[in-house]
Amino acid sequence: MSVRINKRKIINDPVYGFINIPNDFIYDIIECPWFQRLRNIRQLGLTGLVYPGANHTRFQHALGALHLMSLALDTLKGKGVRISVEEEEAACLAILLHDIGHGPFSHALEKTIIEGVDHEDISLFLINRLNEVYGDKLALAIDILFGRYNRMFLHELISSQMDMDRLDYLRRDSFFTGVIEGLVSSDRIIRMLNVADDSLAVDEKGIYSIEKFLFARRLMYWQVYMHKAVVSAESMLVRLLNRARELAIDGKDVFATPALGFFLDTGLRKIDFAEDNPAAGLIAERFTSLDDSDILVSAKYWAGHGDKVLSNLAGRLVNRNLFAIELANAPFDEEKIAVLRKMVERDMGIDEAEARYFVYSGAVSNLPYSPEFHEIKILLKNGKADVISSVSDIFNHKFLSEKIIKYFLCYPKEYRQ
Amino acid sequence: MSVRINKRKIINDPVYGFINIPNDFIYDIIECPWFQRLRNIRQLGLTGLVYPGANHTRFQHALGALHLMSLALDTLKGKGVRISVEEEEAACLAILLHDIGHGPFSHALEKTIIEGVDHEDISLFLINRLNEVYGDKLALAIDILFGRYNRMFLHELISSQMDMDRLDYLRRDSFFTGVIEGLVSSDRIIRMLNVADDSLAVDEKGIYSIEKFLFARRLMYWQVYMHKAVVSAESMLVRLLNRARELAIDGKDVFATPALGFFLDTGLRKIDFAEDNPAAGLIAERFTSLDDSDILVSAKYWAGHGDKVLSNLAGRLVNRNLFAIELANAPFDEEKIAVLRKMVERDMGIDEAEARYFVYSGAVSNLPYSPEFHEIKILLKNGKADVISSVSDIFNHKFLSEKIIKYFLCYPKEYRQ
Amino acid sequence: MSVRINKRKIINDPVYGFINIPNDFIYDIIECPWFQRLRNIRQLGLTGLVYPGANHTRFQHALGALHLMSLALDTLKGKGVRISVEEEEAACLAILLHDIGHGPFSHALEKTIIEGVDHEDISLFLINRLNEVYGDKLALAIDILFGRYNRMFLHELISSQMDMDRLDYLRRDSFFTGVIEGLVSSDRIIRMLNVADDSLAVDEKGIYSIEKFLFARRLMYWQVYMHKAVVSAESMLVRLLNRARELAIDGKDVFATPALGFFLDTGLRKIDFAEDNPAAGLIAERFTSLDDSDILVSAKYWAGHGDKVLSNLAGRLVNRNLFAIELANAPFDEEKIAVLRKMVERDMGIDEAEARYFVYSGAVSNLPYSPEFHEIKILLKNGKADVISSVSDIFNHKFLSEKIIKYFLCYPKEYRQ
Amino acid sequence: MSVRINKRKIINDPVYGFINIPNDFIYDIIECPWFQRLRNIRQLGLTGLVYPGANHTRFQHALGALHLMSLALDTLKGKGVRISVEEEEAACLAILLHDIGHGPFSHALEKTIIEGVDHEDISLFLINRLNEVYGDKLALAIDILFGRYNRMFLHELISSQMDMDRLDYLRRDSFFTGVIEGLVSSDRIIRMLNVADDSLAVDEKGIYSIEKFLFARRLMYWQVYMHKAVVSAESMLVRLLNRARELAIDGKDVFATPALGFFLDTGLRKIDFAEDNPAAGLIAERFTSLDDSDILVSAKYWAGHGDKVLSNLAGRLVNRNLFAIELANAPFDEEKIAVLRKMVERDMGIDEAEARYFVYSGAVSNLPYSPEFHEIKILLKNGKADVISSVSDIFNHKFLSEKIIKYFLCYPKEYRQ
């Protein structure tokens, strides 16, 4: 149910039922255009091509993470952890804004138009600007979000192996894809949260729920995030955007929506998002005017472009005629790749450099549980805390923490043997 | 789970779990670009502004309706109704394609750019063209869809008071909005289906489920489809598109995406979709290249246009700064409207005709159960069939079948008293 | 998850996920034997014979109602209603204990062994005794439960047209029977609660949810509570217990479990539950030692009894060989009944009085929305409260509030024509 | 919805929605008293003391497993596996009857009154007798159930690492306990089933679902089946029954319900269930007249018995005053046990042998994935089948297949330090 119109601050969410907006300032932030634009940025980019239900947006995810943060703070307070009203509001704002720097189809964009710029850099850049507008009312949220505040558990609720961000996206992605095996019991996990030595910890009796969470994450990686067709589609989008840039830089006439056109030839680099960039205001405005619709409209139009590479790639993507993809545990044979490229050169009448847009290999990796990064702590019944890798019998075997690299090879499916 | 890549024809759906694609031809139709474009057309248009989860697409709905059709046909065959393989395929194709003629934001589009053209006219137009391409293999589906086949229950499964279309959209819209009161037990209702005198009927013991279905429909009308903020947003989009057309016709420079630009100034009329229109092929290609992203991109750009009316309306819509809306059981007082318009004229420095874009009234109506239109039949235990309005005690009171008209008045919320 | 062992007061509930026990005293009450015995009393009696999932107990229901009470009190406090800590605890205790007076298979028991005694009389009787044990700590709860406390909305949360008792049992019965059309959105309804003039009220925007709630209640009546086979089974149990009593009073040897045997011949009358009954302590102990297992064990044994009527009835019930049942809107023809009885007399070799145990008629009635009893109030946006029958268009037609009587006729199914 | 009364063979199930009864003979088997009695035997025995929702019965489980069997057979037929109508019916009967030999509180009963008799022995015994009654119509079902039919996959659907029995009980137990992490996607797993070399196999793409299934099983073991309080309660019931037997054998007067009384002093041994036992008919009748209510009624009465041990144990169990329980990875120190027993002897005034009823240790073990027993086979994309332990990276680490033994120590909680 809407907020603005009804003057009540409850939002219907198919995942949790209802989400309460804790207070007016948080509500104002939700209403601001930079946040509202997240309504038009799908959380899972092109994954909808494989799982048709996966059209949920970063807007929904941010609200869901806010909801879990409220529950987590309530739980911790209920266990006697002292949290001030200011800390509570700041933690809520921090989780709400943690993804504000995402552009459309982030995975692809970060490899092309905004190459080398992490969405977290952009989040910091945008939140700093919001902070100016709102008279420094976001200062504590920024400190918590970027790990500069001394009560580390607040940061860990936003960014750690077991944070509200992951908890929401795993559950939400599972819900909307229909891959119910990925279902995470966020309610149960949150009730097990505690604080030990200023760090986030999990009560010992929650250990099975944590193992289940890590297991569900691994499953979602292979079943959804690294699904072959998704990897194929995203790699095609990367090449499509690079081709468009190449042509634009080369002075060719390449239509783009106004928002995309601004960046297409020049792109954006990390330095553009520096605080002291005199054009920072303009960059912020332009970046936040981009959303999924700019990419979709441009790609549709490119399908009729004179450049064979651009039109072919765009046409395939728009009509979901995705490249065939092979996965392997070792890099692909260069010779095999060369042979495929030769065939494409010959059949399409293009040169070797252009054929690289149609036949290419690469690598994807799961993001395993990383013992180096804010490892999950278990608060034992004896009052001591220990890391989960020492406590759980699953971790004796480390299978959840091994990084797995898969190599892929893509090519038009006409060449599938 | 994807189909094309995996060579298995099962699709994950968060509502039903899995959807089987019955055969290869049906799968080919799903893969064709005109159907794939439904991935980028949201089922509920701007409703996502009120219920953030409501981002499901017409693609998902069409697959869901196909799924229910398969279940319904299986049930009827299980009860001894003879249905040939050809009829089964044709009924599946008919339900799959029943909404192919929808453009983006249909409610708004049908009042502006394609004024006076029903999406069913366009569906017929497009399906006829597909039928040509596929060598008349859609002929029986077309007959069933448009009520020309002699076994009327097949048509009624697609279009009646109790069809698979409604059954899917009520359940799906309930699921994605999170308004669980609208939940319809599609499984139970389908198991109660039967055929009597060649008409679709419901076994007597299913009467409570049918009443519940009609009740849920009524609830979804008021809670979702006619939600005040949704009505406000859609009425704003109508006015935004009309203003853009007005300026374009007037020769002003109005950016539009290529797909939208083709239609913006001239629009499309019913006659354009005639079979014997020599430009029919072009019309079909252009119309099917339109999707939500064209409207969203254009609206974003219009927010910076020189025309005060266009930019103001666009800016409000993009940033979800919706008009205040009042509902009433009788038309609003003309004088009140005139006073509000005067204030807007004065404050914005615009004339009376322009002020009509900001202050306006209109009417919405629920679509009640219509006794005139394929009334739901109940197959009594004595073997006779009777219409539900004679059998159910709810209908003795007719509350579900009364048409209700609500009048609305919209204006910028700054003028709310 | 258990409480006692774990020392945490969270209980897993399949309906709501988790239920928190608010404090130690409430926990002690849950632990006391009189409350624990509710674990062995099924909420829906013999309904499990029709809906095999319906094995949930009065223990679960009482905890569920406690959970909803906590949510409701939180909501009201959030809207500014002042509720003291004492009132809060008392309201929770009152809802927890509201059904403590239920015996096994209440509907049948109240027509036989404890004829003329309402379970509410017994609840008061038992709670008063608990209150003595716990040093008057239940005094306020008793006042609230029995409507003697001046803040009437607290009582109405327990007992009114829209109380937490009904809200839980409708939702819970829908969940366990699998009749999902009866699903009530308890979360949404509770968020709409308010207080007006010291009475419970519902915010105007909740009106559709209330209508849906009343509709779901009506559906559950006909689909579950008054399901033909359930009515048949319960009427058979009534007759079985009456026959056993008749024989026992007559001095025949009739086995019964110790707990049941105590009551079988003498029964209990309202006067036995009087506070000043010198045997009150004994009555309380004996009554609270009865549960479903006493009836089930006794019935199993009676299936082998020498009395034809007793053994036949018991055998049918134990093996789910239920009587055929006919429903009608008017009383059944006495002649038809007489003819059936004659056949049974002849075939079983019993007399007319005994045949009445096999062929009988009676009446059931839904419990409609009763405008006389704490009618649901709607808190209008203008700040005034009005009863729902004046506000809702459904109630213009009164279909939800008409009492419906159905007459039934039962007989051995061998006589079905 | 009931079957008998309605003459339609659909049963409402809260887990799957609806369960179809495939044909009349299967329906007759469901209606027979030996099967109906499963309505009064809870699937999880005393687990309801910890998870109050866990009151589901073996009746529900058997129907659920039948439902999954139907789905599995349909899937296999859809993949081209030839299955005759007779095989299909027999497989359904076999899964329906696989648990018919369960008595009430099996875990406890098998350690006391029917010591040394496996419920599978009793199932065979009972099914053979049913087969006689039904003119050998169960012969093929018996062959399939006990692994004597040459098409081994049919047996494996009933009894293997990945059978319909486990699939139903894991999902059902997860549903009714509310431990949603144990949720198994039965639908997805069944769709992945296949047959290779006459053995049941899982399509390669189902490997994550299988891993998830094994993981969920492990979680349910520790969170539910081996929950400390459940282990404590069941161990108490074992001791209670043993004490009652001891007294009965000793000639003391010990009340028991008629059905339990028959066995209490003599017990039943494996030899009693031999086909050629001349009293086989009597044994079958008596055994099948036992259900949960016999144990519950007897225990209630024993709480008032003159024997201190019997009354104390019974009283604790009835009022859920469970023994404290400690878990450890090694056996408990004998001296610690002796000290505790001494205190109990002194405080209760009982001898050492009697104190063993109050202070005792034992061991429980999970039932891991056993590579020796019908290991799960994966049907690789290359057409070959291999066991999952060679294919899955989880099994490289074997964590799911290691048998874990936990030692426990129980004593009255008054002695908890």
| CA distance to partner chain B, nearest, from residue A26 (Å) | 16
Q: What residue of A is the nearest CA neighbor of C6?
A: A205
Strands D199-203 and D377-379: parallel
| CA distance to partner chain C, nearest, from residue D243 (Å) | 20
**CB < 8 Å to D188, chain B:** 17-18
Q: For residue B151, what are the contacts with CB-CB under 8 A and spacing of at least 6?
A: B87, B198
Tell me the two tokens of residue C50. Answer: 């029709």
**CB < 8 Å to C219, chain B:** 208, 211-212
- pLDDT digits over C403-417, tens only? 788 899 999 999 987
| CA distance to partner chain C, nearest, from residue B75 (Å) | 20
- pLDDT digits over C325-364, tens only? 999 989 999 999 999 999 999 999 999 999 999 999 999 8
**CB < 8 Å to C18, chain D:** 178
Give the C-alpha separation, D123 to D273, whole Å: 10
Q: What order of strands is seen across the sheet that includes strand B199-203?
A: B193-196, B199-203, B377-379, B385-387
pLDDT at D71: 94
- pLDDT digits over C303-331, tens only? 999 999 999 999 999 999 999 999 998 99
- pLDDT digits over B143-196, tens only? 999 999 999 999 999 999 899 999 999 999 999 999 887 888 888 899 999 999
Give the torsion sign (CA, D291, D294, D297, D301).
negative
Q: Is residue C42 part of a domain?
A: yes
Q: What is the ipTM of this complex?
A: 0.92
Is the same domain home to B18 and B47?
yes
Q: Which residue has the higher pLDDT, C368 or A273?
A: A273
pLDDT at D73 over 80: yes
**Interface mutation vs chain D, best among B5, B18, B190, most D CBs within 10 Å:** B18
| Alpha helix ranges (H) inside B151-256 | 152-158, 164-177, 186-191, 207-220, 228-249
Cβ of A399 within 8 Å of Cβ of D398? The answer is: no
Query: How far lies C393's CA from each of B217, C388, C400, D37, in Å?
Result: 15, 9, 11, 49
Torsion region of A281: left, alpha or beta (phi above 0 gives left; psi -120 to 50 gives alpha): alpha
Chains C, D: CB contacts within 8 A come to 154
Q: Smallest Cα–Cα separation from C81: which of C374, C379, C373?
A: C379
Is the same domain home to B126 and B57?
yes
Q: Smallest Cα–Cα separation from D66: which of D43, D44, D88, D51?
A: D88
Interfacial residues of C (vs B; Cβ cutoff 8 Å): 180-181, 183, 185, 188, 208-209, 211-212, 215, 219, 222-223, 393-394, 396-399, 404
| CA distance to partner chain A, nearest, from residue B339 (Å) | 23
> What's the length of chain D?
417
Neighbours of chain B (3+ CB pairs under 8 A): A, C, D
Q: Smallest Cα–Cα separation from C226: which of C52, C367, C61?
A: C367
Domains identified in chain B, total number: 2
Q: Smallest Cα–Cα separation from C402: which of B398, B393, B219?
A: B393
Q: Smallest Cα–Cα separation from D100: which of D273, D296, D299?
A: D273
Let me know: does C173 contact C182? Beta carbons within 8 Å: yes
Query: How far lies B322's CA from each of A5, A6, A37, B233, D383, in Å?
Result: 8, 12, 15, 6, 59
Q: What residue of A is the nearest CA neighbor of C20?
A: A191
pLDDT at B369: 63
Is the same domain home to B267 and B223?
no
Domain span including residue B256? 228-365+409-415
Q: Which residue has the higher pLDDT, B404 or A29?
A: A29
Q: Is residue B4 part of a domain?
A: no
CATH number of C186's domain:
1.10.3210.10
Give the C-alpha separation, B191 to D220, whole Å: 34
Name the residue among D11, D229, D294 with its Cβ closest to that of C52: D11
User: Which helix (H) or strand (E) is D332 found in, with range?
Assistant: none
Segment D153-160 mean pLDDT: 96
Between helix B207-220 and helix C207-220 the angle, nearest 10°, is 170
Is the same domain home to B256 and B314?
yes
CB atoms near residue C81 (< 10 Å): 15
**Interface mutation vs chain A, best among D212, D218, D225, D401, most A CBs within 10 Å:** D212
**CB < 8 Å to C393, chain B:** 399, 404
Q: Is residue D282 part of a domain?
A: no
Torsion region of B135: left, alpha or beta (phi above 0 gives left; psi -120 to 50 gives alpha): left
| CA distance to partner chain B, nearest, from residue D222 (Å) | 29
**CB < 8 Å to B174, chain A:** none
Is the same domain home to C219 and C240?
no
Q: What is the DSSP string of D228-285?
A: HHHHHHHHHHHHHHHHHHHHHHTT------HHHHHHHTT---GGGG-TT-TTHHHHHH
Q: What are phi and psi of A244, to 5 degrees?
A: -60, -45
Is the same domain home to A306 and A236?
yes
- pLDDT digits over C57-85, tens only? 999 999 999 999 999 999 999 889 999 99
pLDDT at B8: 46
Name the residue among B223, B397, B398 with its Cβ closest to that of C208: B223
Let me know: does D157 contact D72? Beta carbons within 8 Å: yes
Between helix C119-133 and helix C280-287 the angle, nearest 10°, is 110
| CA distance to partner chain D, nearest, from residue A94 (Å) | 29
Q: Is residue C4 part of a domain?
A: no
**CB < 8 Å to A211, chain D:** 219
Q: Is residue C1 part of a domain?
A: no
Q: Is residue D2 part of a domain?
A: no
- pLDDT digits over C239-292, tens only? 999 999 999 999 999 999 999 998 888 888 888 898 888 888 899 999 999 999
Q: Smallest Cα–Cα separation from C257: which of C238, C268, C244?
A: C244
At D22, the amino acid letter reads P
pLDDT at D399: 59
Residue D383's pLDDT band (cuts 50, 70, 90): confident
Is the same domain home to C212 and C305?
no
Q: Smallest Cα–Cα separation from D183: which of B18, C11, A216, A187?
A: A216
Q: Is residue D67 part of a domain?
A: yes
Three-state secondary structure string covering B330-388: CCCCHHHHHHHHHHHHHHHCCCHHHHCCCCEEEEEECCCCCCCCCCCEEECCCCCEEEH
Let me know: does D57 contact C52? Beta carbons within 8 Å: yes
Is the same domain home to B206 and B155?
yes
Residue A145's pLDDT band (cuts 50, 70, 90): very high
Residue A372's pLDDT band (cuts 50, 70, 90): low
Is the same domain home to A116 and A241?
no
Q: Is residue B19 part of a domain?
A: yes
Give the C-alpha separation, D111 to D234, whole Å: 10
Segment A17-23 mean pLDDT: 90
CATH number of C292's domain:
1.20.1250.30
Give the C-alpha separation, A381 to B16, whole Å: 43
Average predicted confidence (pLDDT) for chain D? 90
Chains A, D: CB contacts within 8 A come to 44
Is the same domain home to D62 and D203?
yes
pLDDT at A339: 96
Q: Smallest Cα–Cα separation from C169: which of C104, C88, C225?
A: C225
Cβ of C188 within 8 Å of Cβ of A6? The answer is: no
Name the residue among C17, C18, C187 with its Cβ closest to that of A18: C187
**Span of A175-179, A279-283, D385-389 with lowest mean pLDDT:** D385-389
Q: Smallest Cα–Cα separation from D23: which of D34, D13, D9?
A: D9
Segment B305-311 mean pLDDT: 97
Cβ of D18 within 8 Å of Cβ of B205? The answer is: no
Tell me the two tokens of residue B331. Answer: 């038309």
Neighbours of chain D (3+ CB pairs under 8 A): A, B, C
**Interface mutation vs chain A, best among C20, C23, C74, C188, most A CBs within 10 Å:** C188
Cβ of D257 within 8 Å of Cβ of C301? The answer is: yes
Tell me the two tokens of residue D4. Answer: 């008998």
Let me know: does D225 contact D219? Beta carbons within 8 Å: no
Segment A66-82 mean pLDDT: 94
Give the C-alpha separation, D409 to D415, whole Å: 12
| CA distance to partner chain A, nearest, from residue D416 (Å) | 16
Is the same domain home to B249 and B114?
no
Q: Is A156 exposed, middle or buried (0-12, 13-18, 19+ CB in 10 A)?
A: buried
**Interface mutation vs chain A, best among D215, D228, D329, most A CBs within 10 Å:** D215
Residue A342's pLDDT band (cuts 50, 70, 90): very high
Is the same domain home to B178 and B61?
yes
| CA distance to partner chain C, nearest, from residue B399 (Å) | 6
pLDDT at B42 over 70: yes
Residue B203's pLDDT band (cuts 50, 70, 90): very high
Q: What are phi and psi of D369, to 5 degrees?
A: -65, 120
Name the residue among D219, D222, D394 with its Cβ closest to that of A399: D394
pLDDT at A41: 97
